[in-house]
Structure 1
Amino acid sequence: MGRAIILILSSLILTLTLINNTEGWAAKAPDPWESFIAQYRHLVSDGKDELAERMWKNTYPKMEKYAQTLTPDEYNLWSSLTEDLNDKKHDMRFNVETIFFFLQVTSSDNSNAIIVERVHQLVRQVEQEPSTSSEIINQWKLVKPVINSYTIKEDIILVDEALSDWSIANSQNSRTAVINSLNNLVEPLKSDESEAVFWMALIVGGSITLTLSYVGARMYQGRSKNRHKLKSGSS
Structure 2
Amino acid sequence: MLRKSSTVGLLFILSCILFTPVQAAAPNTIPEFLDEYYEAVNKGDLTLSHNLLRYNEERLENYMKENHPDRMDQYNEMKKSALGSQADIDSVLYGHLELVLWLDALVHPDPRFFNKEKDELVKRIERYHNSIEPDSPVALSEIRQFWDSVLPAAALTYEDGFFQQFNHHYKLLTQAENPEEIARILSLSIEMMQASQDEGGIRLDALLWTIIIVGGCIILTLSYVGFRKYQAEKKEKTSRLHKRKPNS
TM-score normalised by structure 2 residue count:
0.54
Matches within 5 A, 1:56-205: 56-57=53-54, 59-61=56-58, 63-67=60-64, 68-70=66-68, 72=70, 74=71, 76-88=73-85, 91-109=91-109, 119=118, 121-128=120-127, 129=130, 133-147=140-154, 150=160, 151-152=163-164, 156-165=167-176, 168=177, 171=179, 174-181=182-189, 183-184=191-192, 198=206, 201-202=209-210, 205=213
Per the alignment, do residues 122 and 201 of structure 1 end up closer, same or farther by CA in structure 2, a change over 3 Å counting?
Answer: same
Counterpart residue identity of residue 79, structure 2? T
Is 2:45 the partner of 1:39? no
TM-score normalised by structure 1 residue count:
0.56
Distance apart, 1:208 and its partner CA? 4.0
Between the aligned partners of 1:219 and 1:61, the Cα distance in structure 2 is 69
Gap runs ≥5 in structure 2: 1-28, 132-137
Distance apart, 1:221 and its partner CA? 1.1
Q: C-alpha deviations, 1:5-47, integer Å up to 9, x for none?
A: xxxxxxxxxxxxxxxxxxxxxxxxxxx9775444334446385
Between the aligned partners of 1:219 and 1:187, the Cα distance in structure 2 is 47
Please tell me whether the aligned partners of residues 40 and 55 of structure 1 are also in contact (alpha carbons under 8 angstroms): yes
Counterpart residue identity of residue 105, structure 2? V
Distance apart, 1:207 and its partner CA? 4.0
Between the aligned partners of 2:186 and 2:240, the Cα distance in structure 1 is 81
Distance apart, 1:174 and its partner CA? 2.2
What is the percentage of aligned positions where both structures have the same residue? 10
Distance apart, 1:98 and its partner CA? 0.6
Which protein, 1 or 2, shows the higher relative CO under an 8 Å CA cutoff with sep ≥ 6? 1
Please tell me whether the aligned partners of residues 101 and 146 of structure 1 are also in contact (alpha carbons under 8 angstroms): yes
Per the alignment, do residues 118 and 87 of structure 1 end up closer, same or farther by CA in structure 2, a change over 3 Å counting?
Answer: closer
The number of residues matched between the two structures is 197
SS, match of residue 36 in structure 2: helix
Between the aligned partners of 2:164 and 2:191, the Cα distance in structure 1 is 13
Is 2:205 the partner of 1:206? no
Q: C-alpha deviations, 1:41-90, integer Å up to 9, x for none?
A: 4446385935x555434555554455443484x55533432343454477
Counterpart residue identity of residue 39, structure 1? E
Between the aligned partners of 1:208 and 1:222, the Cα distance in structure 2 is 21
Counterpart residue identity of residue 159, structure 1? Y
Is 2:224 the partner of 1:216? yes
Per the alignment, do residues 136 and 221 of structure 1 end up closer, same or farther by CA in structure 2, a change over 3 Å counting?
Answer: same
SS, match of residue 67 in structure 2: coil
Gap runs ≥5 in structure 1: 1-31
Counterpart in the other structure of 2:16: none
Per the alignment, do residues 176 and 127 of structure 1 end up closer, same or farther by CA in structure 2, a change over 3 Å counting?
Answer: farther
Counterpart residue identity of residue 99, structure 1? L
Q: C-alpha deviations, 1:99-141, integer Å up to 9, x for none?
A: 2221333345467x98787555423312214695222122112
Per the alignment, do residues 69 and 230 of structure 1 end up closer, same or farther by CA in structure 2, a change over 3 Å counting?
Answer: farther
Distance apart, 1:97 and its partner CA? 0.9
Per the alignment, do residues 49 and 162 of structure 1 end up closer, same or farther by CA in structure 2, a change over 3 Å counting?
Answer: closer
